[in-house]
């Protein structure tokens, strides 16, 4: 799905479920990692995590669009668009939006650790995002020299 298709979908969902037009921009943001989408208070734009699109019925994506449109329409109407307000919860329930973004599947999530070290003496394992200098760092339990076991790309 392209940004233009997303824009059309957001406008359609806004008219269908909220009976109000969406007059700003909606686009995919590839930098979003843990959230389904985001509504910008200053520009009134909506960005959506492209990993939330299931490329089929778009049910998950539409649920996230409804959630962000609740923020959008409440903010433009002068209400607080925070998650814990009564107005937000009622509107979200009325339109059937997603309260939370679903977890990504295992193959879409990247392993957070790239380097695996092990102490040859006591067997303690260390998982690190960054490479460490094996001449400077030793095992915290027994003070022996660490060994690099694997490096994933």
End-to-end CA distance of the chain: 28
Nearest-angstrom CA–CA distance, 69 and 7: 12
- Contact of 47 with 54, CB cutoff 8 Å: no
Is 151 considered catalytic here?
no
Nearest-angstrom CA–CA distance, 70 and 51: 21
Backbone phi, then psi, for 17, in 5-degree steps?
-100, -25
- Contact of 29 with 47, CB cutoff 8 Å: yes
Catalytically annotated residue among 68, 87, 125, 151:
68
For the annotated catalytic residues, the residue numbers are 68
């Amino acid at each position: 799905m392209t940004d233009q298709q997303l824009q059309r979908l957001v406008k359609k969902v806004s008219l269908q479920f909220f009976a109000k037009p969406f007059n700003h921009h909606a686009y995919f943001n590839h930098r979003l990692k843990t959230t389904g989408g985001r509504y910008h208070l200053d520009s009134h734009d909506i960005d959506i995590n492209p990993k939330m699109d299931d490329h089929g019925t778009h049910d998950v994506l539409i649920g996230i669009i409804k959630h962000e449109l609740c923020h959008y329409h409440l903010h433009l109407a002068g209400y607080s668009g925070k998650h814990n307000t009564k107005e937000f919860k009622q509107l979200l329930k009325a339109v059937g939006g997603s309260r939370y973004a679903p977890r990504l599947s295992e193959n879409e999530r990247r392993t957070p650790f790239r380097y695996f070290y092990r102490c040859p003496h006591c067997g303690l394992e260390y998982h690190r995002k960054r490479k460490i200098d094996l001449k400077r760092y030793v095992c915290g339990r027994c003070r022996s020299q660490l060994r690099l076991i694997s490096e994933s790309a």
